[in-house]
């Protein structure tokens, strides 16, 4: 980890970056913002860790916990909500056995996220599965997609 952080620090110094660019680099490197990384930078740059945390929690682009290999984002916009997106979310959470406050499965295979209107309301309810937008979602369809992804697990996988 230390090495990766050093790299980010060099980059920050060279490009006269700011906290946001550091956080972006951390997010890109680790897929989330690990507490140790924040503490490391806080010490190096003498910027309170609370400042990093403040910014990391303000912007939706940063994640505080490691995320799964596959990311399923369910839209909760008005249209999707009306068409039952909440049920989809519940199905997923149940299927993955996610405890409250947890969005990622224990084995870090799946993360379930929610989002406000993604702008394709005509296809509501919408889910985005690993960046692929899938419309007219149903619980069955979702389960099938997940099966496919699970199947991949043992085969070739270089999904990010």
Partner 1 sequence: MVTLTIDGKKVTVRKLSTVLDAARKLDIPIPTLCHHSELSPYGGCRLCIVEIKGMARPITACTTPVSDGMEVITTSPYIEKLRKTTLELLLSDHPNDCMVCERAGDCTLQELAYFYGIRENRFEGERRFYTRKDNNPFIEREMEKCILCGQCVRICDEIQGVGAIDFAHRGFKTRICPPYEKDLNCEFCGQCVAVCPTGALTGKMWAHKGRQKDIKEIETVCPYCGCGCSLTLHVRRNEVIRVSSREDTINEGWLCAKGRFGYGFINHPDRLTKPLIRIVPKNSQKSSARGGRSQKTLNSQLSTLNSQLFREVSWDEALVYVAKRLREIKDRYGPDSIGGLSSAKCTNEENYLFQKFMRAVIGTNNVDHCVRYCHSSTLAGLATVFGSGAMTNSIPEIGNHDVIFVIGSNTTETHPIIGLRIKKAVRGGAELIVADPRRIDLVRFAGIWLQHRPGTDVALLKSMMHVIVKEDLTDKKFIEEWTEGFESFKEGLNEYTPDMGEKITGVPKEYIIRAAILYGNAVRPGIYYTMGITQHTHGTENVFAIAKLALMTGNIGRESTGVNPLRGQNNVQGASDMGCFPDFYPGYQKVNIPNIKQKFEKAWGVRLSDKIGLTAPEMAEAALKGNLKAMYIMGENPVLSDPDINRTIEALKRLDFLAVQDIFMTETAELADVVLPAACFAEKDGTFTNTERRVQRVRKAVEPPGEAKEDSWIIIELANRLGYKMKHAFIEEVFQEAGKVWPAIEGITYGRIAKMGLQWPCPTLDHPGTPYLFKGGFPRGKAVFSTTRYRPSEELPDNEYPFLLSTGRQLFQYHTGSMTRKIDAINKISPEAYIEIHPDDAKQFGINDGKIIKVSSRRGSINIKALISDRPAKGMVFIPFHFKEAAANVLTGTALDPIAKIPELKVCAVKIEVVVLTVS
Residues of this chain that bind partner 1 (CB under 8 A):
35, 38-39, 42, 46-54, 57-58, 64
Shorter beta-carbon distance to partner 1: residue 35 or 159: 35
Q: Tell me the C-alpha to C-alpha distance, in Å, between residue 45 and each of 3, 23, 41.
A: 16, 13, 6
- CA-wise closest residue to 141 among 121, 126, 157, 156: 126
Choice between 47 and 133, CB closer to partner 1: 47
Q: How far is the CB of 92 from partner 1 (least distance, A)?
A: 22
Q: Are 125 and 75 in contact (CB under 8 A)?
A: yes
Instruction: Name which of residues 123 to 142 contact ligand FES (CB under 6 A).
Output: 124, 126
Residue 118 contact partner, candidates partner 1, ligand FES, none, CB within 5 to 8 A by sort of partner: ligand FES
Of the pair 98, 127, the CB lying nearest ligand FES is at 127
Beta-carbon contacts of residue 149 (< 8 Å; ≥ 6 apart): 70, 109, 110, 129, 130
Residue 98 binds ligand FES, judged by CB under 6 A: no
């Amino acid at each position: 980890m230390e090495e990766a952080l050093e790299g980010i620090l060099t980059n920050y110094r060279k490009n006269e970056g700011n906290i946001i660019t550091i956080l972006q680099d951390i997010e890109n490197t680790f897929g989330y913002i690990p507490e140790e990384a924040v503490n490391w930078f806080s010490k190096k740059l003498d910027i309170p860790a609370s400042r990093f945390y403040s910014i990391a929690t303000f912007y939706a682009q940063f994640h505080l916990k490691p995320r799964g290999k596959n990311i399923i984002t369910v839209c909760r916009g008005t249209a999707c909500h009306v068409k039952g997106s909440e049920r989809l979310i519940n199905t997923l959470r149940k299927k993955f056995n996610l405890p409250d406050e947890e969005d990622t499965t224990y084995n870090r295979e799946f993360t379930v996220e929610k989002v406000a209107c993604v702008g394709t309301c005509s296809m509501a309810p919408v889910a985005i599965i690993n960046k692929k937008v899938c419309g007219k979602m149903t619980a069955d369809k979702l389960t099938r997609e997940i099966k496919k992804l699970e199947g991949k697990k043992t085969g070739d996988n270089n999904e990010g």
